[in-house]
Amino acid sequence: MEEQNRLDPSIRPYHVFINHRGPDVKNSLASTIYYSLRGKGLHVFFDTEEFQPGQGLEPTITNAIRTSLVHIAIVSPRYAESPWCLDELRQMLKSGARIFPVFYNVPPNDLLRLQNGKGIFANSFEELKSKKNNNNKCRYDSETLLQWRKALEEVSNISGLELDSSKFNGGQGKLVNTLVAHVMAHVTKERKKPLKALDDAFEDFIYFLSESRNECDSVRIVGMVGVTGSGKTTLAEEFYHRRLGYFDRCSFLLDVRKASERNGLQALQSQLLKDLTGHEEKICNISKGKEMLEDGVNCLSRHTSCKFLIVIDDVDNPDQLDALLLEDCLLGSGSWVIVTCRDKSILKLSKISLHYKMKPLVRDDARELLCREAFHQVEPIPGFDNVVETALSKCGGLPLYLKLLGRHLHLYANNREESWEQELDMVSDIGDICKITYNALEEEEKQIFLDIACFFQGMEKKSAIRIWDGLGWRGARALLKLENMCLVEINEKNRMKMEEFHSNLGREIADQQLITSPDLPCRVWRANEVTDFFEGRLPVPEHIKNRGFTEGTRSNHRQFGRKRLRTYTVSSVTIELFHVNGDLPDDILSDRLRDLVWFRWINCPRTSIPLPEMSNLRVLDLVNGNFTTLCDSTSQ
């Protein structure tokens, strides 16, 4: 038995089903295709059991055919000898899923000759027709034989790949590579196929905009309001991409809340200026940045009739809108600004009066989303309807909850229904889902998860791995595990992203570990707490203060800052990773940062940096600084 069968595939959703004739290709072409697809991370059904005469398709195979996104039919010379191959093909065509035929030593056109009793499979069909059962009656009736013949004719008309094994020209390797590329493209497309729920939400938003239209408004500024997980960002992205072609200049500022914490509002102002005017400028002062934005857009609007589309996503502070939201008088007629926010009062403070409230998904749409994540199909696997209903009742129609719970349940796709029910019993809210998944990690993986939650969101994957490797951790291995468990996503720019629930959980755990876990890395990540830590006001536990680390000793305690730091008074903890926004006193630069593995300094006002010798430094990230030289004459 293959591994897939050992894991009870009767309930497992598959990406690919391979239909083949064992004696022809099982140990050659079919196996190569199977392992190549598995190497790409796909779940592939590749049956290894022979069936007994007179036995119908096993429920395992029938279900695998029904649930697979893609079918591969390897049609070989002895293919039609097997009634099971033929009946699998019939069911594959009936399922409506995409079929990729591979014609192995069989010309596709030859299959069409069956209708005249000719061709490569004519003798095989005659033998099937003559087979008798124990009662000396025909084992396969004429209707069944007709369906199998039609299935072969139909598959011959599907564009596929051909291989002649008698030609030693590397054809098999090329065929497998081509086939795998086609399958991967189709699976990716199916997984990203828009949900009906998203189409419905988009249409509802458009209807809201048309109903609330005021002829006096030449510029529309709309707030999109909803709780965490209600789909604000997803709907805003959908509107942005569908309406992109109607505007002259467009900008999407994604996740303003986290981006402003990470790089400052100046970086977002620079992005907005570049998107709207094409000018790339370094902005070091928020007030000056706002002036540059207003002047640039005003100049553009005076000389052209530009229509702008701007999305400001996930705002949680009025200061963010003060820095990024332009007066409607500066924007050309027909321009749109969309702001997503959890707190309606922030919109009101910025005089945004038009508010669209997100709605929970209706039952059918919620069910589709959950099933896509849990089963990789739009319907539950047979026997799991009750589990799905229980899961739906826990999510309240919120898309992010449904996605997270579905992904969590997919981790248990090899278990039976009662195992899923036990898993759901442990989940009272979405926080429980995150905790259960976190607790399943190894200790090193947990620490890397906490690093990302507190500090590394938006960082390039390679940079983070270099940092963790510098700390003696297996960064690439741990990050892959976090990706596979859907705790971290890597976006198209190869940067790390984490859902808000996971980020909040990580920060809560980091706070707890600071007090309760003396042997684990501690993380101080809030700007005011970092200042308090350096000034000795943060109530750091005695077991941390009195560990007696001497200068130069590598400790596993790490501190981060995002604010100007003043007097340093705590000397017992070695700092390995550090992030600061603004200036640093010379004594901290020279005395406390020698053991750094990662140093990120944004908006440094100095023209030179008196860095000490840092033998462990792996990543130095200097953003928006005024420096002209890295070190001054006093540096080592």
Better pLDDT: 595 or 380? 380
pLDDT tens-digit series, residues 14-50: 789 999 998 999 889 999 999 888 877 777 888 754 3
Q: Which of 490, 520, 550 is the last residue of a domain?
A: 520
pLDDT band at 536 (very low <50, low <70, confident <90, very high): low
pTM higher than the cut 0.75: no
Which of 106-115, 181-190, 454-463, 568-577 is least confident? Answer: 568-577
What three-state secondary structure class fits 419? Answer: helix
Choose among 612, 606, 609: nearest CA to 592. 612
* 496 pLDDT more than 80: yes
Task: Count the domains in the chain.
Answer: 5
* 8 pLDDT more than 90: no
Listed in sequence order, the residues at least 6 apart from 621 whose beta carbon sits closer than 8 Å to its beta carbon are 463, 598, 599, 600, 601
pLDDT tens-digit series, residues 118-174: 878 888 888 888 887 777 778 888 888 899 989 999 998 898 898 887 665 667 888
* 81 pLDDT more than 50: yes
Judgement on whether residues 145 and 97 belong to the same structural domain of the protein = yes
* pLDDT for residue 531: 58
* 88 pLDDT more than 90: yes
CA–CA separation, 569 and 572 (whole Å): 9
* pLDDT for residue 589: 67
Q: What is the CA radius of gyration of the chain?
A: 31
Judgement on whether residues 114 and 243 belong to the same structural domain of the protein = no
* pLDDT for residue 90: 93
Other CB atoms closer than 10 Å to residue 221's CB: what's the count?
A: 23
Q: Which of 357, 375, 403 is the last residue of a domain?
A: 357
Q: What percent of the chain is predicted at pLDDT more than 90?
A: 22
Judgement on whether residues 496 and 593 belong to the same structural domain of the protein = no
With beta carbons less than 8 A apart as the criterion, state whether 368 and 378 touch: yes
pLDDT band at 418 (very low <50, low <70, confident <90, very high): low
CA–CA separation, 372 and 187 (whole Å): 13
* pLDDT for residue 51: 42
Question: Which residue segment(s) compose the domain that 272 sits in?
Answer: 196-357
Cα 503 to its chain centre, rounded Å, is 15
Q: What percent of the chain is predicted at pLDDT more than 70?
A: 77
* pLDDT for residue 529: 62
Q: Which of 497, 520, 543 is the last residue of a domain?
A: 520
Judgement on whether residues 24 and 161 belong to the same structural domain of the protein = yes
Judgement on whether residues 300 and 386 belong to the same structural domain of the protein = no
Catalytic residue selected from 88, 368, 445, 576: 88
**Cα–Cα distance list, 286 to 260, 264, 291, 304 (Å):** 12, 9, 9, 27
Judgement on whether residues 327 and 229 belong to the same structural domain of the protein = yes
pLDDT tens-digit series, residues 49-72: 434 444 445 667 887 887 788 999
pLDDT band at 179 (very low <50, low <70, confident <90, very high): very high
Listed in sequence order, the residues at least 6 apart from 208 whose beta carbon sits closer than 8 Å to its beta carbon are 356
Judgement on whether residues 98 and 175 belong to the same structural domain of the protein = yes
Residue showing tokens 């909040």: 504
Judgement on whether residues 7 and 138 belong to the same structural domain of the protein = yes
Judgement on whether residues 344 and 386 belong to the same structural domain of the protein = no
* pLDDT for residue 336: 93
Other CB atoms closer than 10 Å to residue 63's CB: what's the count?
A: 21
pLDDT tens-digit series, residues 336-380: 999 999 888 889 889 998 999 898 888 888 998 888 888 877 788
* pLDDT for residue 75: 94
Catalytic site includes residue 88: yes
The DSSP secondary-structure symbol of 361 reads P
Better pLDDT: 263 or 315? 315
Judgement on whether residues 399 and 279 belong to the same structural domain of the protein = no
Judgement on whether residues 75 and 101 belong to the same structural domain of the protein = yes
